[in-house]
Amino acid sequence: MEKQSQTLSQRMFRALMRVLPFDFRTNYEGEMEGVFREQQREVKERGGALDALRLWRETIAGIFTMAPREHWQILQDDCRYALRMMRRNVWFTAIAVATLGLGIGANTAIFSVVHAVLLRPLPYTQAQQLIQVRQTEKKVGVDDLSFSVQEIADYRKQNRTLAGLVEYHSMSFTLFGHGEPERVRTGVVSANYFELFGVQPLLGRTLVAEDEKPGAPAVLLLSYEYWKNNFGADADIVGKTFEMNDKVHTVVGVLPPVPQYPDENDVYMATSACPFRSSPMHTENRDMRMMEVFGRLKPGVTVAQAGADMATIAAGLRAAYPKYYPGNVGYAAEASPLKEELTRTARPTLLLLLGAAAFVLLIACANVANLTLSRMARRERELAVRSALGAGRSRLLRQLFTESFLMAMASGLLGLLLAYGSLELLVDFAGRLTPRAREIHLDAGVLLFTLGVALGTSLIFGTLSAVFSRANLTSSLKEGSAGAAGSGRRQSRVSSVLIVGQVAFSFMLLIGAGLVVRSLIKMQHTDAGIVPQRVLAMRTTFNWSKYTDDAASKVVLQKLLERVKAEPGVVSAAVSSRYPFEPEAISDGPEAVSFTFAIDGRALEPGEALPVSTYAAVSPDYFAALGIPLKAGRLLAETDREKAPLVAVINEAAKRKYWPNEEALGKRMSPDGGQHWGTIVGVVGDVREFGLNHAPVPEFYVPQAQNAQPATLIVRTVAEPRSMARALTRAVHDVDPQTAVTHVLTLEQARYESLASPRVTASLLGIFAGLALVIATAGIGGIMALMVSQRVREIGIRMSLGAAPARILQMVLSRGLLLCGLGIALGMVGAVALRDLVKSLLFEVPATDALTFAGVGLTLLAAAALASYLPARRAAGIDPNEALRAE
Amino acid sequence: MNKKRETESFLPLTPAMFHILLALADGEKHGYAILKEVARRTEDKVRLSAGTLYGNLARLESAGLIAESGKRPEVVLDDERRRYYLLTAFGRDVAVAEAERMEEALVQARVKKLFRKPKLA
């Protein structure tokens, strides 16, 4: 018992000692324990339990008050020493910090995007409960069918899993009463839209149920940005009135600066205020679809349950309205988390880039590790001497870790600066992928990440130095040069492994970048099917409330075209509901402008899907203005008027898909279940409407005169088209001064812009791969130089035994190339294994593209040859006599 | 002059340090002996714990005020190997300087009649 309690208190005392630095313990632990034991014995002799407690209290307090000072002392010593060593090896330090800094910077930058876009919850109350509801027609390839007014009512009424269901669509209206007529992007939403998302107004109120009642006074809610930029953040804005759609709209509130989803809008109005949404055409027709639908899950309900609920409702609708949901389209409904919806396009690109950045950091780490190893070889003596002078091993390890820690912190700081500098560029880049881009900043999470990465790297090469020093410390003093030679071999083996790894990772990165760049080049050289030079597109939005019926709008469009064609310098002019590379068309995809139709005389097999195609309403000169060639039949003509027989021109993709082995001309089709029939009168060339990387889809061109649609003016000019913009705007205003002219863009600009996202991805990957190549090449060069300097004696012997300098040159070169070749082989395996990661970003280039693989392999070999050549030449130039004498 | 400045850079000593130097003034001692002597001399008013004792010893040693004695410990009842510490000449200088500093302060306190009579004549 006695013995046991003694060992217990001894154990407790030893545990207490652990708070002291190792060195201190090594020095004094035994003695302190002895003193403590004496004290305890004394207390026991006196026999006071209180005394025993007091002894413990004083002992604990004593150790805890002195421990920080001891630690601090050692840290100070280490830092001072480390800084001295870093100053003494300025070049080593600079190269290591720069290399790691680049790696950490790349990671910090990409992580800040990943963090904001993919990791952080959406900035809404209980955002995980928010879902998007989607209708699909899988059999005709439609993943995201908009909702009609009646469908929204059905889903709202029948669902059992949602606490709320709101609708959204965005339109552009012209706003009067604030200077020039202004086109404003307007979000048209349910009254409880903002309540559902949990957004509180900055000023005034959001929309309430009263606002949505038919005939309610029209009200507007301003977005924070619009309020700030266009009204100078006027605090008295609530209550001001504007005219829109021939109605007075009163501002009732301003939104806070939250990111707006799904689109950025200038203003918001209730559904009843939208002239289209509230028109009988929309309220009475189940298939007039243009809304998106969001919901909030009831507490405890999962997304899957909500999805099943929506699917049940869809099944009910299919049964109740077979006319609108024919079996051959495969109508259904599903629910998915809102966050997933908003980041869907961004995810693969961002993860790929994060992976690439991680590769760069790994390569940088390997390089610094190699630098560290070669420096350790030189410091071996110094460390051995210090060890012999009484520095404990752990003291030395702590010293080495302090050095790598300081270096990593410096690199981390550099990395942060680099990331900070590139932030604006990144936000711009991410903006093309997700509406969450504006949430990107370097916040605490990113700082923590950077700190973690820096600490991780310091741990990696700190450990490496430590392992290396542990292996060698004891031997090097005792055995002199023999020990050093042994450790040199071991070190060069480790270095070789690191080099092979570096080359392998560089190879994979270069392959990724090479494939993406090749895709980009292919895209750029893809024939879009139009002649984009000297074409200007400008969206012209009439004050629709003035042109209430089809006839009136057709007249004004006709007048507009006549006026524009009269303008000097205009070759041809047309109006169209959309045009190739229109940014909105690209982001919305072909589904947004698709329709299903029946072909005259062709019965569908049971379960066969209805034919589906995109369409555009164009005026006759559209083809001439864009340079779309006629392949068969005729183009649309001025004679295809409202009262004339309905006609359509199709593209070759539609011909291939629906009339592959027969004449399409003269065939009839109906978009509305047989109420109206149109005749195909011509076939034109395919156009890559939805981006160069998007294969042409079937397309129907119908006359604007027979299907009036909101229009964009398309003008082919004699001279540089942008110089005509002002004159053309004047021409539009001559016809109707209340017309807003926006989105003025040349088709070449639109084409260029359409490639912005792949271009940025390719540039970023290219930069990463370039960095990797430079770092790896420098690594090979460095390690070959080290090898040569370590083997001077051996080379000297070989030469004195008759080896020709050319033989030596070849020996060093082939060693460098061998390491590189091994790395390439490994990298090839890796690149093939990882091919799925990059696939989604490629365009007409296979992920295992032989040309890219060969090109990258040759580049790396050439770089390795170049990097090994200088050390090899040095080796070949060694004078055997001197080399032997030097030892 | 230089030496004096070096000595004074340690002043004022903490009470614990001063008492440790005092304890070593009349001969080398091991840690526990120092602790006992300080407690006895101050009638238990200055109680050093193992931690404060060795923390101070470490600092005094690295500053060169004390040193480890070459004398090896005899094997005592417990088989603990003790180290003995001695006051270096420099340590003695510092202790003297500290005592002088205290005396000076004392004299001034007396001039200001801050205390009655010296306890020890």
Which SS3 state, helix, strand or coil, does residue A742 take? strand
Look at B50 and A27 and tell me if their CB atoms are within 8 Å.
no
Of A775, A757, A756, the residue nearest A767 (C-alpha): A775
SS (H, E, C) A197-264: HCCCCCEECCCCHHHHCCCCCCEEEECHHHHHHHHCCCCCCCCCEEEECCEEEEEEEECCCCCCCCCC
Task: Look at the block and give the residue holding tokens 């030679």.
Answer: A485
Size of chain B in residues? 121
DSSP state at residue A603: P
- Choose among A24, A32, A67: nearest Cβ to B50: A32
Complete DSSP assignment for A662-689? S--TT-EEESSTTSS-EEEEEEE----T
Q: Which residues of B touch A (CB under 8 A)?
A: 30-32, 35, 47-55, 57-58, 78, 80-83
Per-residue pLDDT at B81: 65
Of B31, B32, B52, the CB nearest to A66: B52
Closest CA to A249 of A209, A220, A211: A220
Cα separation, A363 vs A103, whole angstroms: 8
The Cβ-side half-sphere exposure at A748, using a 13 Å CA radius, reads: 8
Chain B: closest CA distance from residue A7 (Å):
14
- Rounded CA separation A447/A620 (Å): 58
| Inter-chain CB proximity B31 and A30 less than 8 Å | no
| pLDDT more than 90, % of chain A | 37
Please tell me the pTM assigned to this model.
0.74
Of B49, B78, B83, the CB nearest to A59: B49
Closest C-alpha among B62, A31, B98, B27 to residue B37: B27
* Res A481: pLDDT: 44
Structure tokens at A137: 């027609």
> Hey, of A31, A41, A43, A69, which one would you mutate to test binding to chain B, going by the most B CBs within 10 A of its CB?
A31
Beta strand A289-297 with A162-176: parallel, antiparallel or unpaired?
A: antiparallel
Which residue does chain B place closest to A60, by CA atoms? B51
Q: How many CB atoms lie within 10 A of CB A563?
A: 17
Query: Mean pLDDT across the stretch B17-27?
Result: 92
Q: Chain B: nearest CA to A771, how far in angstroms?
A: 49
Spatial distance between the Cα atoms of A335 and A144, rounded to a whole number of angstroms = 11
Residue A418: CB atoms within 10 Å: 17
Interface contact flag, B52 A69, Cβ < 8 Å: no
Å between B72 CA and nearest CA of chain A: 14
pLDDT tens-digit map of B50-89: 889 999 999 899 888 999 887 665 655 444 567 889 999 9
How close does chain B come to A2, measured CA to CA in Å? 16
* Secondary structure element (H or E) that encloses residue A506, with its range: helix A481-524
Residues A612 and A142 sit within 8 Å (Cβ to Cβ): yes
Token pair, residue A591, equals 């589904």
Q: With an 8 Å Cβ cutoff, are A32 and B54 in contact?
A: yes
Instruction: Please tell me the distance from the alpha carbon of residue A348 to that of residue A836, in angstroms, as a whole number.
Output: 10
> Alpha-carbon distance A218 to A407, whole Å?
63
Please report the beta strands in A513-666, taking only residues with DSSP state E, as ranges in sequence order. Answer: 535-541, 570-576, 594-596, 598-599, 612-618, 630-633, 647-651
Residues of A in Cβ contact (< 8 Å) with B51? 32, 59, 61-67
Write out residues in chain A with pLDDT < 50, as ranges: 1-2, 476-485
Chain A residue numbers touching B82 (CB-CB < 8 A): 31, 34
| Cβ partners under 8 Å of residue A179, min gap 6 | none
The chain B residue lying nearest A55, using CA atoms, is B49
Structure tokens at A560: 């507009």
Of B49, B78, B82, the CB nearest to A58: B49
CA A635 – CA A651 distance, rounded (Å): 11
Instruction: Identify whether the C-beta of residue A488 lies closer than 8 Å to the C-beta of residue A431.
Output: no
Minimal CA separation from A62 to chain B, in Å: 5
| A83 CA: distance to closest CA in chain B (Å) | 22
> Among B49, B56, B60, B84, which would you mutate to test the A interface (most chain A Cβ atoms within 10 Å of its Cβ)?
B49
Element (H, E) at A807: helix A805-833
pLDDT of amino acid A469: 62
Is A39 near chain B, with CB under 8 Å? yes
DSSP string covering A107-129: HHHHHHHHIIIIISPPSSTTGGG
ipTM of predicted assembly, 2 dp: 0.86
Residue A483 has what pLDDT? 43
Whole-number pLDDT of residue A479: 44
User: CB A882: neighbour CB atoms within 10 A?
Assistant: 10
Report how far residue A279's alpha carbon sits from residue A286's, in angstroms, rounded to the nearest whole number: 13
Q: Is A48 on the interface with B (CB under 8 A)?
A: no
CATH architecture assignment, domain B2-111: Orthogonal Bundle (1.10)
Instruction: Find the residue in A nearest to B16 (Cα).
Output: A62
The residues, ordered by sequence, that sit 6+ positions from A165 with a Cβ below 8 Å of its Cβ are: A133, A152, A155, A156, A159, A293, A294, A295
Flag if B35 and A35 touch (Cβ within 8 Å): yes
| Alpha-carbon distance values, A221 to A176, A184, A217, A239, A846 (Å) | 16, 12, 13, 11, 49
